Amino acid sequence: MRQKMAGVNECFSIGSIVACKTCYNKEIEGEVLAFDPQTKMLILKCPASNGQAPLNDVHIINLSLVSDVQVKREVNTVPEAPQSLDLCRLNSRVRNQIDEKRRLVTALSASVPPEGQKLFFAISKTIKEVSWQGSNIVVFNSVMITPPYKLDNVRALADTKALLHIKKVVEKHMKEQAASEAAMSVAGAQTSPQ
């Protein structure tokens, strides 16, 4: 087991197990994910502090602020080259996310009451083919929900099976809203002075 002070130039191999003591006397031990000798930054992967086995904590440590560094187990094998990124796929994901954000911003800018906007967002969480037509919500280009955005305001534009599905989504949203309002009124009654 080697012991080095943080001021000494040290190289850490990826996969090695390193323990260090921070300037706050906190002991951190974990597997080296990365090390930059120029900035003396060390990235360690440690078991999750909350005890959840498949998860890990990642610590970024400035070795200039560490009083003690110990290499518990050194790995001398050359790590595998990282997999190349599929840039086309990443660009596609970025474009899709931007389109989705634009669609949601359009929903916010529509001059409709908050009930309509809440229902629009509830539907758009699971169905991407939802849009505004004036103050009406149109789903799958075959179902329209008109103000005041209740179950009775859901109607089919064409003979479709989607109508039943959308009615279930609207009904679920209405129940969640009612439960949320009831919980808020109970909480308000409990905190108000008697």
Taking residues 144-171, what's their average pLDDT?
88
Model confidence at 159: pLDDT above 70: no
Taking residues 83-106, what's their average pLDDT?
86
C-alpha span between 102 and 128 (Å, rounded): 13
Reported residue count of the chain is: 194
CB 167 within 8 Å of CB 154: yes
C-alpha span between 163 and 76 (Å, rounded): 63
Q: What is the three-class DSSP state of 138?
A: strand
Give the domain ranges of the chain.
2-73, 92-187
Q: Which CATH class is domain 2-73?
A: mainly beta
Among the ranges given (14-18, 96-100, 104-108, 115-119), the one the predictor scored with the smallest mean pLDDT: 104-108
Please give the mean pLDDT across all residues of the chain: 83
C-alpha span between 29 and 21 (Å, rounded): 9
Query: 69, 73, 80, 87: which is closest to 28 by C-alpha?
Result: 69
| pLDDT given for residue 110 in this prediction | 65
Q: pTM of the full predicted structure? A: 0.48
Model confidence at 7: pLDDT above 50: no
Model confidence at 5: pLDDT above 50: no
**106-140: per-residue pLDDT in tens?**
767 667 888 888 898 889 888 888 888 888 899 99
Burial of residue 55 (CB within 10 Å: 0-12, 13-18, 19+) is: exposed
C-alpha span between 13 and 2 (Å, rounded): 14
